[in-house]
Amino acid sequence: MSIAENLEKIQSTLPEHVQLVAVSKTKPNEQLMEAYDAGNRVFGENKVQELTGKYEVLPKDIEWHMIGHLQRNKVKYIAPFVTLIHGVDSKRLLVEINKQGAKNGRVIDVLLQMHIAIESTKFGFDKAELLEMLDAPEFAELQNVRPVGLMGMASYTDNEAQVRSEFASLKSLFDELKASHFSDASFKEISMGMSGDYPLAIEEGSTMVRVGSAIFGARNYA
């Protein structure tokens, strides 16, 4: 199937409150343009250099999401234009995004990444760490960065019950934080679900799915 057909098929299964982020990492601009011409405007990339390169040459009404692990020294390159940073996993990164937001006269929307998988290799806060950051006085002073929700990646496994329970844990933490720290309506996103598990993620409360290979085909890292 073509990229346009893949997009249409996936979009037709998404509830209205779920946003599709088309993950275009490693894919050439021509393929992004195929998705663009089919109406897609939200793209996700996981490398700063690739993201800025694509931003520079592709249409300016694209919303770019940074979905990968972000190093502090690279925030400055995406701060002028990025729509949403999914993978904020430390206080130092949040502080840096705030600083670059101020330099660019922007408030940058971010998602706080939680460690929900069994694998220790995956990034993200654990709950205690997150609460410590949110309760620190400096947190309230960050005026140029705005957490609009949580992001998580489930374990890479065929065990559906395991994946489901990891998604459910992110949703329940979201509900808890919404009540305790983020009463503002802008805190509303739960970014979870990829090509292999997005239907499950939606059942467990996802509002944003990051889908790559199911749209663009398998990636070739060679």
Ligand X SMILES: *Cc1c(COP(=O)(O)O)cnc(C)c1O
- Residues in contact with ligand X by CB under 6 A are 23, 25, 46, 67-68, 153, 194-196, 210-214
Nearer to ligand X, 38 or 131 (CB): 38
Decide: 173 and 157 in contact? Cβ < 8 Å.
Answer: no
Neighbouring-strand partners of residue 150: 112, 190
Decide: 215 and 28 in contact? Cβ < 8 Å.
Answer: no
Nearer to ligand X, 46 or 98 (CB): 46
CA-based Rg of the chain, rounded to a whole angstrom? 17
Q: E strand or H helix at 128, and its extent?
A: helix 127-135
In whole angstroms, how close is the CB of 138 to ligand X at the nearest point?
Answer: 27
Closest residue by beta carbon to ligand X: 212
In whole angstroms, how close is the CB of 41 to ligand X at the nearest point?
Answer: 18
Distance CA 108, CA 138 (A): 17
In whole angstroms, how close is the CB of 210 to ligand X at the nearest point?
Answer: 4
Nearer to ligand X, 142 or 154 (CB): 154
Say if strands 42-45 and 63-66 run parallel, antiparallel, or are unpaired.
Answer: parallel
Decide: 17 and 39 in contact? Cβ < 8 Å.
Answer: no
In whole angstroms, how close is the CB of 212 to ligand X at the nearest point?
Answer: 3
Nearer to ligand X, 79 or 194 (CB): 194
